[in-house]
Amino acid sequence: MMMTTSTRFAMDRPARGRDGAGSARRRAGAGPAGWVLRVMIALAAGPASWAEPAEEVRRAQVVTVRPAELTRDGAGGGGVAALAVAGEDVEAAAAGSPAVVAADPAPADLRTARRISISLEAGVLYDDNIFLNARDPAEDLLYRASGEARFNLGDVTAREESHLMALYRPDAYFFQENPDENTVDHEASLSVRQKFAKLAVDAAVKYQRTSGSTVELGDRVPRDVRQVRAGLTYGWGAKTSFNTGVQWDGTSYREGAYADSKEWASESFVDYQATGKFRFGLGGGFGQLDVSDGSTPQDFQRALLRVNHAATGKLTIVGRAGVEFRQTEAGRSATPVFGVEATHALTAKTTLRLRGVQEVSASGVLEGQNYLRTGLGLGLAHRLNDRISLSLEGGWDRYDYESVRRATEQIGSERSDNTLFVRPGFTYAFGDRWNAEAWYQWRSTESSDPEQTYDVNQAGLNLRYTF
């Protein structure tokens, strides 16, 4: 089973310069015409240029469950902070990404990642409860074949300067015992940023066609997820900048029993670089959520604080927190919301990551209800040597459902779910291009609805080759 969304934060990484061909690209300029010329130069450089040494963009890959996806189930909207761009989740784009401050025009670094990257994956997964069924769990053996094509241009690592990222990823799943569930999922995304002297303009689009189970849905449900974002950042001085953006999210289910949702939101911040390691921003936003279950559209407003703090060379804290005010048929509510991640390099080979999230989303299953999701997660990664890496992840998520309709029109009872998961993993790199991952995951959900109480055990092996 596969879930679609996730809450992760992009951390600041220094860009590196380049001589020779890179200088020619930098002279191409930063304007719109310059972007066209850059793309032409990149394509004309040929395969030898594409095969430059790369900063590896690490992304947890498993056969059908990506661990970070447990932080968000994709069933509801997520506001401006939830957009995933070019295959890498960038909640930090609104929650804590580097603010653009006034500075002289800087050349884009064209060596932050491979310009063109193609990878192939194959895997096998055992799942003892593929439909998350409480009474009659069905086990199966799944086979997976996947590919990924990326095009990168510019500062795609730190993402502070001009850059362009494009990605397409197909995922095919074949069930041994339930061939009717065979499916091919798709993901495509495009992200672009144009940096001027004091102004930076961003835009991104993403489309996913997916069919995996989620904690909220409790079944394999085909659905389409679309996201569009646009924003700009203007630097007032050496330490102060203004950022504003708007995002639209849409989820459409391919089965009539579920409620589609559309949400748009706009957020703005004034950011201040208090010290060389600490930046904070004050702001807020507003938007509207519309669900196709006959409910009245929900208006909401947010008051927010966001921070990006590199406490030491080993500890980084990125996050945002505030209050969301929402108006529904049931009345008005004020709910604390937050998303935070702390990463600590315990040693040169060991990294600890802590995440926390609380957000309001529309239920695709329970008519006329929203759910408040509160989650905590902990991850530990250790690199034994250049070839072997170990990982351990665990977490807890709680879903509290609440009606958004008038008391006389409420349907069904409100429910609450608690989910725990643990996932150890082992990765072996055969070389620069080949790597394999073996993993196991246990997940347990207890619900006030007995039909939604279940356990699931999974174990898988995944093989990846990158050109």
Nearest to 414 by CA among 400, 424, 426: 400
Backbone angles phi, psi at 371, to 5 degrees: -130, 145
Quick: pLDDT tens for 410-429.
Answer: 565 678 999 999 999 999 99
Distance from the Cα of residue 345 to its chain's centroid: 22
Rounded to the nearest 5 degrees, what angle is found at the Cα of 268, between the Cα atoms of 376 and 231? 95
Instruction: Find out whether 457 and 439 touch, Cβ atoms under 8 Å.
Output: no
Nearest to 198 by CA among 243, 230, 156: 243
Quick: pLDDT tens for 118-140.
Answer: 999 999 999 999 988 888 899 99
Would 10 be classed as within a structural domain? no
Tokens of 16: 């590196």
Neighbours of 337 (CB within 10 A): 21
Integer Cα distance of 451 and 417 in angstroms: 11
Q: Give the model's pLDDT for residue 186.
A: 97
Integer Cα distance of 301 and 281 in angstroms: 17
Q: Give the model's pLDDT for residue 466.
A: 92
Q: Give the model's pLDDT for residue 200.
A: 95
Would 2 be classed as within a structural domain? no
Q: Give the model's pLDDT for residue 409.
A: 58
Tokens of 314: 């080993």
Q: Give the model's pLDDT for residue 79.
A: 31
Does residue 68 come out as left (phi exceeding 0), alpha (psi in the -120 to 50 range) or beta?
alpha
Neighbours of 252 (CB within 10 A): 15
Would 454 be classed as within a structural domain? yes
Report the domain count for the chain: 1
Q: What is the dihedral of CA 341, 345, 350, 354, to 10 degrees?
A: -20
Would 384 be classed as within a structural domain? yes
Q: Give the model's pLDDT for residue 157.
A: 81
Would 11 be classed as within a structural domain? no
Would 439 be classed as within a structural domain? yes
Nearest to 305 by CA among 288, 275, 283: 283
Does residue 62 come out as left (phi exceeding 0), alpha (psi in the -120 to 50 range) or beta?
beta
> 431-447: b or e for each residue (b if 16 or more CB lie within 10 Å)?
eeeebebebebebebeb
Name the residue with tokens 């989910």.
419
Q: Give the model's pLDDT for residue 159.
A: 78
Backbone angles phi, psi at 22, to 5 degrees: -60, -35
Tokens of 155: 């500062």
CATH code of the domain containing 351: 2.40.170
Q: Which residues pair with 184 in a beta bridge?
A: 172
Instruction: Find out whether 323 and 337 touch, Cβ atoms under 8 Å.
Output: yes
State pTM to two decimals.
0.74
Instruction: For the chain, list residues with pLDDT below 50.
Output: 1-33, 35-112
Q: Give the model's pLDDT for residue 156.
A: 82
What is the domain range of residue 200? 21-466
Quick: pLDDT tens for 344-382.
Answer: 999 999 999 999 999 999 998 888 899 999 999 999 999
Instruction: Find out whether 126 and 93 touch, Cβ atoms under 8 Å.
Output: no
Q: Give the model's pLDDT for residue 313.
A: 76
> 310-335: b or e for each residue (b if 16 or more CB lie within 10 Å)?
beeeeebbbbbbbebebbbbbeebeb
Report the DSSP pairing between strands 183-195 and 163-175.
antiparallel
